Structure 1
Amino acid sequence: MSILINKETRLLVQGITGNEGLFHTNQMVNYGTNVVGGVTPGKGGEWVLDGKVPVFDSVKIAAEVTGANTSVIFVPARFAADAIFEAADAGIEFIVCITEGVPVKDMMRVRAYIDQLDTRLLGPNCPGLLTPGEAKVGIIPGNIAIPGNVGAVSRSGTLTYEVLYALKQKGMGASTCVGIGGDPVNGTNFVDVLAMFEEDPQTDKIVMLGEIGGTDEEMAAEFIATRMTKPVAAFIAGQTAPPGKRMGHAGAIIQSGSGAAADKIKALEEAGVRVAKHPEELPDLLG
């Protein structure tokens, strides 16, 4: 069991003929992900990866031919919103946008539209997700995690890799790892993923990786305190960040008296979450 992706996932890659799209398609195929097609306007009828994956002109045609239910987006930032709209209009159930630098105004339009549909968006500016031993969608390296019972959710791609590898070194595996991205407006937040892990019978404990900026971690703390029965350990990045300076992600900035690491840590600890001072402490805190 896992959340969001598994061996049954039928994946389309939007922007498959670009350098990033092609490289990561190869990685996903080699991991065992069921990549059923790719989309690049004007290149329909071509094949990539030595004839393994067909290319289509549009998501609508690709979905009709392949039965795809998931899409991953590797297109430049100025085209990302339109790529999300296209996938949603084609009936894709789960859309993962890896692209970084998508304008906030574009994402506001996307959220207003997506929220009216039965479609889930992950990202933008995220590493995607990995269900060890089954499938990976995005750019998380497949070799840094083993199958297990720890659910992982993170705003930071780099921290995700570090913690998954630390868990593996301790012989601890992951059910699914979800990188939600750190942009101010995104498709899936901590609470969304925590709720899925709470319902997943194969996830027994959860690790949560947050960072400064916004209030997502505080909302997660409230959800954990009132709705969750499974133990959660967490780490908050940016504990020494100065106010008013953006750190890494577009959403990682302390401003207007909110978003400080200390406030997030306090809220999580009050919710019963064990908070690590350093990410490598997380496996021991999970027990």
Structure 2
Amino acid sequence: MSIILDEQTRVLVQGITGNEGRFWTQHMMDCGTNVVAGVTPGKEGQMVRDVPVFHTVKRATATMDVDASLLFVPPQLAKDAVLEALNAGIKKIVVLCDGIPLHDTLQMRKSAQMAGAMVIGGNTSGIISMGKAMMGFFPYWLDRVYKPGRIGIMTRSGSLTNEVTSELVKAGFGASSLVGIGGDSVPLTRFAEVLPLFENDPDTDAVVIIGELGGTMEEEVAEAMENGIFTKPVISFLGGRTAPKGKKMGHAGAIITAGKGTVEDKIAALNEAGAYVAKKPSMVGELLKDVFVKQNN
């Protein structure tokens, strides 16, 4: 099994006729993704990599069965594109762009919750179910880093994800599914909201969280563990340990407010809940080995 996405998921690409949309649509299809339609207003009748293009999401879903949508749109158009997909009944949406206006993000999140849908992003590389399908822009060499296995991954960082996941492979592990939550200050889906999917996935034995300073998502994971919502082992690596205190950081999600969000706060909360916290990426694989040795003894 996998969560959110597999090779059977019928994917629509909004913004498919742009350079990014065309390029990554081909790459996703090469990775096994079942891309069935694209949408660009005014471009209906065109084909992109043998995928039909429609004026609107409604026109696409009236013709094709669609399960998920991926957005290649600029941040100022993200809200309208998400609402269009939600109104067409699509329940799984990935928003790649960053810099989405805050009030747009809040409206998108509320609309998704009301529709019973999951919208992932913004500022994310996307999601992968290893060896099955991908929605996003993970690099061509992903097959060397993102090996199929039984470890779930949730991440706020693009660059750290490649490093940490490569360390898992070095340690002999692979991943079941990877969800890029994204690095914006208000993510459309939070870590704790994805945890139940991994909890219920029989092909996921443990979860690795790649977090960073700012926000409270890692503390929410600790709370979910303490409340018994998530019972599998959790291994985490948190970026920003050496960030100077009191200095403004460029990452939108790296905001510390009301005394919460520091790396120290997150480490304390995760340790208290029983999670394992790696001091550096190279330790993640070793901690996983230790976890499974303890389970087998």
Bin of the TM-score, shorter chain as denominator length: over 0.9
Match in the other structure for 1:213: 214
Corresponding residue SS for 2:114: coil
| 2:33 maps to 1:33 | yes
Q: CA deviation at 1:109?
A: 1.5
Q: Following superposition of structure 1 onto structure 2, how do residues 86-125 of structure 1 map, counting pairs within 5 Å?
A: 86-125=84-123
Q: Following superposition of structure 1 onto structure 2, how do residues 167-186 of structure 1 map, counting pairs within 5 Å?
A: 167-186=168-187
Match in the other structure for 2:2: 2
Deviation readout 1:234-259 (Å, 9 max, x if unpaired): 01111122345443431112243221
Question: Whole-Å Cα distance in 1 between the matches of residues 274 and 248 of structure 2?
Answer: 29
Q: 1:232 aligns with which of 231, 234, 237?
A: 234
Match in the other structure for 2:129: 131
Amino acid at match of 2:185: P
Q: CA deviation at 1:161?
A: 1.5
Match in the other structure for 2:293: none
Amino acid at match of 1:33: T
Corresponding residue SS for 1:270: helix
Match in the other structure for 1:42: 42
Amino acid at match of 2:94: V
| Contact 2:92 2:118 (C-alpha < 8 Å) held by counterparts | yes
| Contact 2:45 2:52 (C-alpha < 8 Å) held by counterparts | yes
| Contact 1:242 1:254 (C-alpha < 8 Å) held by counterparts | no
Amino acid at match of 1:242: P
| Contact 2:185 2:255 (C-alpha < 8 Å) held by counterparts | no
| Contact 2:191 2:218 (C-alpha < 8 Å) held by counterparts | yes
Q: CA deviation at 1:146?
A: 1.2
Structure 1: unaligned runs, 5 residues or longer: none
| Contact 1:244 1:253 (C-alpha < 8 Å) held by counterparts | no
Identical positions, percent: 49
Corresponding residue SS for 1:279: coil
| 2:262 maps to 1:263 | no
Q: CA deviation at 1:59?
A: 0.8
| Contact 1:245 1:253 (C-alpha < 8 Å) held by counterparts | no
Match in the other structure for 1:140: 138
| Contact 2:82 2:93 (C-alpha < 8 Å) held by counterparts | yes
Match in the other structure for 1:278: 280
Question: Whole-Å Cα distance in 1 between the matches of residues 242 and 190 of structure 2?
Answer: 24
The alignment of Structure 1 onto Structure 2 pairs a total of residues equal to: 285
| Contact 2:92 2:117 (C-alpha < 8 Å) held by counterparts | yes
| Contact 2:237 2:277 (C-alpha < 8 Å) held by counterparts | yes
Q: CA deviation at 1:165?
A: 1.8
Normalised by the length of structure 2, the TM-score is 0.93
Corresponding residue SS for 1:115: helix
Q: CA deviation at 1:16?
A: 0.8
Amino acid at match of 1:165: S
Aligned-residue CA RMSD (Å): 1.3
Deviation readout 1:21-78 (Å, 9 max, x if unpaired): 11111110111100111111110110012xx111111111112212011000010111
Deviation readout 1:172-198 (Å, 9 max, x if unpaired): 111101110121222211111111111
| Contact 1:63 1:69 (C-alpha < 8 Å) held by counterparts | no
Q: Which moved more, 1:10-19 or 1:181-190?
A: 181-190
| Contact 1:245 1:254 (C-alpha < 8 Å) held by counterparts | no
Amino acid at match of 1:276: A
| 2:166 maps to 1:165 | yes
